[in-house]
Every structure is written in C-alpha cells, then in structure tokens.
Amino acid sequence: MSRQGAAGTPMCKADVARGGVWHPGGGGQRTGLPPRMARALESYLFHLSLVQGASARTVSAYAADLATLGRSLAARGRRGPARVSSEDLRRHLIELHERGRQPATVARARSAIRSFFAFLQDEGVVAHDPAGELEAPSGWRRIPRALTPEEANALIETIEGRDPLALRDRALLECAYGTGARVSELLGLRPGAVRWEEGLVRLDGKGERSRLVPLGLPAREALRTYITDGRPLLEARRGAEPPEEIFLNARGGALGRMGFWKILRKRATQAGLRGRIHPHLLRHSYATHLLHGGASLRAVQELLGHARLGTTQIYTSVDDAYLHSMHQRYHPRG
C-alpha cells in the first residue's frame, strides 16, 4: 500500500501537508502542539508514509490520534516526548474511553501511540519506550521489504564513470548498503569518523549514541576515491568554506535527505529495479542479508544500533520465497 502522489512517486512531507494532515516545519501551528512534540510527530509521519508505506488513510488517522495525544500531554505539562510516562499514556486512553469513543477508535489510538514511541526509541529521541507496557495491538508492523543480493549489487554496479557525482553516488550507496546506517547517520558522516586501517566507521546516532561498524573493502575504496577525486571538485562549486560532512550535493553543500532520495531513485531506475525504493530499504537489505548469511540476531542488533532486540526480530520473519529456496537448496528431498 504505497502512498503515492499524482506522478506515482512516494509522498514527502510537503505532500502530507497539502493533504491537510500536517504542516512541515511549522512547529505544529495547525495542531497547537509544542515544538518538540511537533517535530517528533513530523518525523514519524514521514517515516510512516515513506518507509513503512502506510496508506493515506492510515497516515491521516494516526496523525489525528497523535495530535490529540500531544495536546492532551501538553495540557498536563508534557511538552516533549522525552518526559512522557506510561501512566500519561494510560490516562489518555482512559479519557478517550470516557468521552464515549468507540473501542475500535481507542484501539487504533493505542496502536498509533505504540508505533510512534517505538519509532522514537529506535531513533534515540527517547531513552525508554513508555508505550511498551500498553497492551500490544496486532498487525501494526509489517515485514520490511529487502532487495535481493543480486538487486543490491546491480544498484551499485550500475554507477559508472569518474565524474564527481558518479563517484559520490557510488560511495554513498556502497556505504549505505555496507554499513546499514540510518540516513541521518550516513549524511552526517565526517572524515574523522572513518578508521581506514581498521576498516571501521563510527556512526553517530540520535541521543548521543555512537557505534563502530565494519566498513568493507568495496565501500572503503569507493569512499576513498570519492574523497580524493570527487569531493574536491564539488567543494570548488560552493565558492565558500565547504561543510564538514563527507557527502556533498551538486552545489557543494551538505547532501540532504531528499537529495539522497533522488539519487537512490535515479540509480534504481538505471538498474532496472521495480517496486517502491526508499533510503531505508538499503538498511533493511543489510540486516536481512546478514541474518540470511548466518549472523546472530544479537550481532545484527548491535550493528543496526537498535535499542531493543524486539525491533531487530522483525527481520527474522522471512518471506515464503526465501524459505522455499532454502528448502530446495539444503533438504535432500528438496
């Protein structure tokens, strides 16, 4: 259920705003939310639409449910998600019930709250998930789609040439697939974070959480070539002091999320990949391919920087096609 605009492309924050669901960058002006809660909700709705592929109806319903929650919390002095307790959330659900809301409506609100705070904990916005103790709704999470190893290889190998943008795109996608970094971690990468001799890179997640992950030889070579031969040419286009981030846009400024999205979409089209392509897909593929190759769930949790093992466990729910291929490959009567 991919959420698409008129041109058939996944919708961005501005598209959500045009649908009347949310006002991006407006500090919650249309919903009366405090700025911190407004920013957290904006990021979550973007994730829900683009990464999870939720329908327009689901995004709209969850936005309304969480805006109601945000106003209720603000009235009790909770102006940001970091100060919210399990009791605050429980009280809000009880109030919905007491106002005469239908059980299905309260259940949907509970599902939205659990999804919202699970996302915030994974992103490091909150240290503890206050919604984790609420009764778990069923069906709010879907198994993430992953590229096949062949598709991931085609995506990267399609990028050819020695011009600075080709070198950048190759390094960008090699690092994304080679480290499983979140988009924010990858775009915030600085030269000092790379330990060339050790083959490691430090990824700085939200909430001041950092982790070291291996950087394979193909990613290292692509990144070194870009930094040596490509980045200086992009720096020269800026005509001012270049940003500290490694990955630059065509004008020499720091590459942003939508810039990354456009690069991935362009390269996926060139590689002949079909289906919904988004930046988080490379992170999903990284985790899935590690587990299929025999990596332990605990190791993948550390590599992904997940605060909870339960978040990583979603990757163990492999699809029927994979199970069928493994049966054919390894069973004597397959």
What is the DSSP track for 131-154? GGGSPPPSS---PPP---HHHHHH
**CA torsion through residues 100, 105, 110, 116, sign:** negative
Q: Find out whether 72 and 87 touch, Cβ atoms under 8 Å.
A: no
Residue 295 amino acid letter:
A
Residue 305 amino acid letter:
G
**Residue of 23, 145, 206, 211 marked active site:** 206
Residue 276 pLDDT: 79
**Residue of 78, 108, 182, 278 marked active site:** 182
Place of tokens 């996302």: 119
- Annotated active-site residue 283? The verdict is yes
Residues 6+ apart with CB under 8 A from 276: 2, 10, 53, 145
- CATH of the domain spanning 149-321: 1.10.443.10
Residue 93 pLDDT: 87
Residue 285 pLDDT: 93
- Coil, helix or strand at residue 188: coil
Nearest CA to 185 out of 231, 230, 264, 246 is that of 246
**Residue of 79, 101, 280, 292 marked active site:** 280
- Coil, helix or strand at residue 4: strand
Rounded to whole angstroms, the maximal C-alpha distance in the chain is 66
- DSSP-assigned states of every residue in 148-183: -HHHHHHHHHT---SSHHHHHHHHHHHHHHHH---H
The residue extents of the domains of the chain are 13-133, 149-321
- Annotated active-site residue 286? The verdict is no
CATH architecture of the domain covering 13-133:
Orthogonal Bundle (1.10)
pLDDT of the chain, 334 residues: tens digit per residue: 333 443 333 444 444 433 334 443 344 444 578 899 999 999 999 999 988 888 889 999 999 999 999 999 998 888 889 889 888 898 888 888 778 788 788 889 999 999 999 999 988 889 888 888 776 444 334 456 789 999 999 999 999 999 999 999 999 999 999 999 999 999 999 999 999 999 999 998 766 688 999 999 999 999 999 999 999 999 999 878 889 999 999 999 999 989 999 999 999 999 999 887 888 889 999 999 998 888 888 999 999 988 778 777 777 655 445 556 666 777 777 5
**DSSP secondary structure code for residue 230 in this structure:** I
- Annotated active-site residue 315? The verdict is yes
Residue 224 pLDDT: 97
Alpha-carbon distance 226 to 223, whole Å?
5
Residue 28 pLDDT: 40
Residue 206 pLDDT: 62
Residue 241 pLDDT: 87
Nearest CA to 215 out of 122, 303, 305, 302 is that of 303
Q: Find out whether 114 and 107 touch, Cβ atoms under 8 Å.
A: no
Q: Find out whether 123 and 42 touch, Cβ atoms under 8 Å.
A: no
**Residue of 283, 284, 286, 289 marked active site:** 283
Residues 6+ apart with CB under 8 A from 183: 257, 260, 279, 280
Alpha-carbon distance 59 to 5, whole Å?
14
Residue 263 pLDDT: 96
- Annotated active-site residue 13? The verdict is no
- Annotated active-site residue 128? The verdict is no
Residues 6+ apart with CB under 8 A from 47: 119, 280
Alpha-carbon distance 262 to 259, whole Å?
5
**Residue of 71, 141, 202, 306 marked active site:** 306
What are the backbone dihedrals phi and psi of residue 211, each rounded to the nearest 5 degrees, phi first? -150, 150
Q: Find out whether 227 and 234 touch, Cβ atoms under 8 Å.
A: no
- Annotated active-site residue 280? The verdict is yes
> Is there a shared CATH topology between the 13-133 domain and the 149-321 domain?
no
